[in-house]
Every structure is written in structure tokens, then in C-alpha cells.
Structure 1
Amino acid sequence: MIAITGASGHLGHLVIKSLLAKTDASNILALVRSPEKAQDLRELGVVVRAADYDQPESYVEALKGVDKLLLISGSAVGQRVAQHKAVIDAAKANGVALLAYTSILKADSSPILLAAEHKETEALIKASGVPFTLLRNGWYSENYTENLAHVLAHGAVIGHAGEGRVATASRADFADAAAVVLTSAESHAGKIYELTGDADFSMADYAAVVAELSAKEIAYVDMPFEDYKNALIGAGVPEGFATVLADADAAIKGSWLSKNGSTLSDLIGRPTTPIKESIKAAL
């Protein structure tokens, strides 16, 4: 049986959709905090079990009979290491044969603030003795396209990325890669995959494509770190998360999220989704 944590989230749903094209629904286990909110998965024939990060013993029970596990990194920044440890410990206790983890690009060396918890989680996985695969995901195209309403309203993309380039791919691309690792006859144990889109682009490039497809005047406005952070706070983003977002742009400026080979497209057996297609779909 293949288990997915955070199965009711955006990436979790897409991984399950991809898995359904490769294996029977009865082989797929969706781990969710609130099973009553996963009725759509049950209707597909997927097995649903309750598992709560704040109740580590729930994972020990939920992972019974699981052969392969995808640990999708949690969303509670600052609390994720302890949460992930609960899953890793439960995987070890249940003799899980493969633990795949959605990490971040260049987790072991990246200066980006978000990398710290991923680096700690990777260390815990390696120390556990459970066979593992690290899926070091780059930036999701949806990190940008889900905010297009604000861009169109203000006629600008704002940021701190300078002329730095980012190689995004769609969530569905990353989900397909996870599904390949979880279902392939070839062993992926011990592999560390640095995953990015096939092409990278600057924020000015991104603004130009949005302008082209929306037939509106859209410009990229580059800002100093503090000014960008304060602009995000002014738009209602909590200060801590605003700092994380501004720091991510600083990482783009430093080329930490640019194109890193063709591993993602090689894994999924097709080109990654171009940013233009993601923008068009979002519009």
C-alpha cells in the first residue's frame, strides 16, 4: 500500500490523481487530519485514515500495512521538524520499505530560510535507517499564478528578485514525479533528486507574459528587501511570512532557484509545464 500525508492538500490531491493512473485505488492510502473532509477521495475508492501531526501515535496506527510512504512537507513553518519526526518514527516502527520526502531545491546548501527545516528533516530521515528518496522540489508555478488577481488589479508584479531567474514547474509536474518514484519497478531508494522546470525566467519575463496574455499593461517593479517585505505586510501578509517571501526572492536573485538540469522532465517522461501555459490556465 502507498500512503500520502497531507492528502487533502493541493499537492496531495494531485499525487493521488497521478497514482490512480498507475495503480488501483485500493492500493492508495490518504492520510488526513479530518477524514470527513476527504469524502471525494473515498468516492474514488482510495482508502482514508486519520493521522494528526499533533498526535504522533495516530501515525503509528495509520501506517500499519504501508509499504511506501510519501511525506509531503507540512505547512506550519517553524513547527515542521517535530511534525515530520512523528511521521518518520512511525514509518520506522511499521517497517515502511520506502519513505519519499518533498524537500526543497539544494536543501543541504541553500541559504533560503525555508531550507532550514527541510535540511533537519532530511537528517532525521537519513538517521532513521528507513530507505528514502529525497524529492527536492523547486518553486511551484502556482506560487505566482495563484496571485494573478492582485497583479492584474495593480498592473504590476512586485518583488526583490532583481534579474535573477527561477525555473518553476506546475504542482502537477512535481506530483507526477512523486507518483513515478512510488510506483516504479526500478528502485529509487537512496536517490536525491533536484527538481526544477525545463526553463527559467526572470520576474520581468513573467510580467511580460502576463501582460501579453491579459492584454493589460503589467510591469515588474523591483524593490529593496525591506520595502518589498513592508509592501507585503501592507497587503495583509503576516510579518513572518512576508519575511519568508522576501527572502525567497533574495534566493532567486542569488540563482538558488534557477534551472538545475532536466531531472524532473526525465522522471516524468515529458517536458515540464511552461510558465506561459500555467499563466494562461490561471487567467
Structure 2
Amino acid sequence: MKITVTGATGHLGRLVVAALLEQVPAERVAAVVRTRDRAVDLAALGVEVRVADYDEPDSLAGAFRPGERVLFISGSEVGRRVPQHGAVVDAAAAAGVGLLAYTGILGGPEADFLLADEHKATEQLVLGSGLPYVFLRNGWYHENYTEHLATVLDHGAVLGSAGGGRISSAARADYAAAAVAVLTGEGHEGRAYELSGDTAWSFEEYAAEVARQSGTPVRYRELPPHEHRQVLVGAGLPEPLADVLVDVDAAVSRGLLAGTTGELSRLIGRPTAPLAEAVAAGLAAARPAEAATRHP
């Protein structure tokens, strides 16, 4: 039985493929990618590479095979994902895949913020397809924040409008491990997993951890939502994306991303990676020469 990963050259997809290859032979893994050139390394390992684009339904006709298990990683183009995802679900249904695992968002139907809308619509498309499914409702990634530490260090501030809200994030690698557990295990069909880190943190605590590890004064600066939006747009973000991010902080302030269900650690069989580890990695990437002389 083949295991197929869509978006296999993205940040999460590459981690999933790497973790799969630790458990199953390469000939049992297929990678669906938009551009073959980006998957040369995967092909060299023996992974079957299939080229398809969420925006081109005809290309998806060859993306899947009957009976195989598929990890459907959600697209990254906010505002375009419902038709993109619908094309993937249609192709998977036409192929008769044996299991479709979709990476949604923490809270599922109860998530009442903008970024969740397309995920909720996609879950309905999956349910309507009649396919055997698993919903992997991923919480926030540590890396959503720690990959931008160069800017934080330059300004000495973490900016946001989340108040004292908390976030139960986990490392991308933890979510990848959970996907692999589902794809290679049994008894997951029809389940919806609410996946999040073991410990929730506030932006004040995050800023303090960055300051501790970097030796640089960093604080959390709370902004009114309209000012937060202005800062994001001024930094070059498209206005619709700025709206989404400010709305996410509003969701954080309401406690919608603070849940610590324990389902992620149970699936992967270990505690989730602490935020401090991601901060250390982010600092190493932001200021590698300085990081070489520091210890977290």
C-alpha cells in the first residue's frame, strides 16, 4: 500500500516525507509536488514523484491511486483554498483512495476566526465525498513566530494585539510525526484529532524567552488591532493577510488557540517540543555567528 503526501516539498511536507522514510521503504512513498525540480532529492531516494497543482484540476487526475493513503496538506494561499481543496478532494474521490487525512485547524467547526473558514469548508467537502477520512486539526506552529526572530531582535519587541491570550503551539516536526502515526497506523478512520502543544504560552512569556536566550532586551508590545494592522501593512503584507493575522490575535485573546488536549503527544508517543527549542533554532538562523557562542 502506497502512502502519498501532497505539498511534499513544503515546510511540513518535507518533514512528513522524511519521517515516513524512517518507517517504510521509499518505494511505498509518493510525493505530489507542483514542480518536479524541487523534488529531485526525493526522487533520488526512491520516492515516486507525481506533478500536480491544486489550481489545475486536470493535473490532479494522476495524483492519486486506488486504495492508497493520502496526506492532504492544506494549501497556503489564503482566500483561494476552497476551490483548490475541492479539486483535490474530487481527484481523491475519483481515484478511490483508501484514506484521506486532511491538515485542518485547531477547533474545527468551533473555530470562529477568518483563517478557519476555508478549513471548515474543506472538512465539509471531505465529508461530502464519502471518502474514509481523518481530520488532523493542527494548532499553531512554533515556527510561525520563531522564523521571524531577526525582525524581533532588530526592533527589540514582539508586536501583537492578543492581550494576555495563550497559544498552545508545537513544532512542525511534531505535527509531521502525528501525520506519520496516522498514515502508518490503524484505527484512525473517521477520527478528528485536535492537535496542540503540551504547554500554552503568552506573548509576554515568548518575548521574555527570546530576551533570555539572545541576551538582547525584548518585550511584548500590545497594540490596538487597527494599529497592529497598520504595522503589518506597512511591513509589506497584503491587506487581506494583515486582516487575517489581526483576527488570529483576536482569537488568541479569546482563548481559542490555548487548548492543550494532549492528543498530539499521545499520537507521537512523547511530549511535544518546548517553545524554548524553537527559539534557540530561530536565533541560530537569525544570527548564526552570535548563536554559536550562546547556550539556551
TM-score by length of 1: 0.98
Separation of aligned partners in 2, 1:161 and 1:232: 14
- Deviation per CA, 1:155-204: give whole Å up to 9, x if none: 000000100000000100000000110001x2210000000000000000
**Equivalence for 1:32:** 33
Could you tell me which residue of structure 2 aligns to residue 103 of structure 1? 104
* Alignment size in residue pairs: 282
Q: What does residue range 25-104 of structure 1 map to in structure 2 within 5 Å?
A: 25-65=26-66, 67-104=68-105
In 2, are the aligned partners of 1:3 and 1:66 still within 8 Å (CA)?
no
**Contact 2:199–2:260 (CA under 8 A) maintained in structure 1:** no
Compute the RMSD of aligned alpha carbons.
Answer: 0.9
Q: Which residue is equivalent to 2:217?
A: 217
Which structure 2 segments of 5+ residues have no match? 284-296
C-alpha separation between the residues in 1 aligned to 2:120 and 2:66? 28
Structural mapping, 1:140-151, within 5 Å: 140-151=141-152
Q: Which runs of 5+ in 1 are unaligned?
A: none
CA distance in 2, matches of 1:216, 1:54: 44
Q: Deviations over 1:108-147 (max 9, x none)?
A: 0111101100011000100110000000000000000011
Q: Secondary structure at the match of 1:3?
A: strand
- The answer as to whether partners of 1:2 and 1:66 remain within 8 angstroms in 2 is no
Deviations along 1:70-92, one digit per CA (max 9) or x if unpaired, are: 11000111111111111111111
> In the TM superposition, what is the alpha-carbon distance from 1:65 to its structure 2 partner?
4.5
In structure 2, distance between residues paired with 1:19 and 1:65: 20
8 Å CA contact retained: 1:167, 1:198: yes
The offset of 1:63, in angstroms, is 0.8
Are residues 1:204 and 2:222 paired?
Answer: no
Q: Which has the larger displacement, 190-199 or 109-118?
A: 109-118
Q: Which residue of 1 aligns with 2:187?
A: 187
After superposing on structure 2, the runs of 4+ consecutive aligned residues of structure 1 that deviate more than 3 Å are: none
Residue in 1 that maps onto 2:230: 230
Q: 1:265 aligns to what? A: 265
Report the TM-score when normalising by structure 2. 0.94
Q: Which position in structure 2 is the counterpart of 1:168?
A: 169
CA distance in 1, matches of 2:276, 2:67: 39
Identity of aligned pairs, percent? 52
Letter in structure 2 aligned against 1:249: D
Check if 1:137 corresponds to 2:138. yes
